[in-house]
């Protein structure tokens, strides 16, 4: 799989993708990540990429021509994505879907954003990583890169790790523990030391439901629940009602 990131700061991307899990995947040839400098597609001696906004207002706007030329330089790709605070929320489902594509282009905005004609004619999608504003799209691009590339077969040492993580099945992930079994007065739950895999699986499912119910209750309506799940959640609801009364 190939990701191409169009940015004014290619070194931010190159530095990150040379490290950790993604770095090892790049070295092994499992994935390819290229950072392209939008300034390379300017035509003036000052490599100007921005200009004042029509209609007035604060800040500067990225000019359309250098961005369009950078996009066109990549050639045919499966998907072109703009990182912008006004995009739709990026999700785990997007990461799963994009991990099956052969090529994706990520376009990073800066300043007050990119001339909107790029969004209209040169990208297929626009996503945001949260309801806040960053200095540029590079951090968003890295989030998309990491979330997506780790799902490419062979990138993670254990494919089961990706399947069990938060959001992979719609719920937040259950708690994790490691050695020592007792630490600073807190002990690992006995069930995890029992060796009884069915009971461990049940505990993990219930803790995942419990954590999601407590922190992200909005996610539960999107999950396919078993009859056991529904009974467990009903008990949680009843327990909350008892506490409130």
Task: Supply the CATH number for residue 31's domain.
Answer: 3.40.1280.10
Based on the fold, state whether residues 230 and 142 are members of the same structural domain: no
Question: Does 72 fall in a domain?
Answer: yes
Contact 235, 229 (CB under 8 A): no
Q: Let me know whether 26 and 140 are in one domain.
A: yes
pTM: 0.85
What CATH number is associated with residue 194? 1.10.1270.20
Residue 30: DSSP 8-state: S
Q: How far apart are CA 205 and CA 208, in angstroms?
A: 5
Say how many domains are in the chain: 2
In this predicted model, what pLDDT tens digit does every residue of 80-108 receive, in sequence order? Answer: 999 999 999 999 999 999 999 999 999 99
Give the integer Cα–Cα distance in Å for 135 and 113: 10
Q: Give the tens place of pLDDT for each residue, 173-205.
A: 999 999 999 999 999 999 999 999 999 999 999
Task: Give the C-alpha distances (Å, rounded to integers) separating 228 from 74, 233, 236.
Answer: 50, 9, 13
Domain limits for position 225: 182-244
Q: Are residues 97 and 12 located together in one domain of the fold?
A: yes
Q: Is residue 177 part of a domain?
A: no
Q: Examine the domain organization and report whether 6 and 121 are in the same domain.
A: yes
Residue 200 located in a structural domain: yes
Distance CA 155, CA 72 (A): 29
* Inside any domain, residue 174: no
């Amino acid at each position: 799989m190939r990701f191409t990131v169009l940015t004014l700061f290619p070194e931010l991307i190159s530095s990150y993708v040379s490290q950790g899990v993604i770095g090892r995947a790049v070295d092994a040839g499992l994935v390819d990540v290229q950072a392209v400098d939008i300034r390379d597609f300017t035509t003036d001696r000052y490599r100007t990429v921005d200009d004042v906004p029509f209609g007035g207002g604060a800040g500067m706007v990225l000019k359309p021509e250098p961005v369009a030329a950078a996009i066109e330089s990549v050639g045919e790709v499966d998907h072109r994505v703009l990182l912008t605070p006004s995009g739709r929320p990026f999700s785990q489902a997007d990461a799963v879907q994009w991990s099956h594509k052969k090529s994706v282009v990520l376009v990073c905005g800066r300043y007050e954003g990119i001339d909107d004609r790029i969004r209209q004619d040169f990208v297929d999608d626009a996503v945001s990583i949260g309801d806040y504003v960053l200095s540029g799209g590079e951090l968003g691009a890295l989030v998309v890169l990491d979330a997506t590339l780790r799902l490419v077969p062979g990138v993670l040492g254990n494919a089961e790790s990706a399947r069990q993580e938060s959001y992979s099945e719609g719920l937040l992930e259950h708690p994790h523990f490691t050695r020592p079994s007792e630490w600073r007065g807190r002990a690992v739950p006995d069930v995890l030391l029992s060796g009884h895999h069915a009971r461990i699986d049940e505990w993990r499912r219930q803790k995942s439901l419990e954590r999601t119910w407590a922190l992200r209750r909005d996610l539960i309506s999107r999950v396919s629940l078993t009859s056991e799940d529904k009974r467990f959640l009903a008990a949680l609801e009843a327990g909350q009602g008892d506490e409130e009364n």
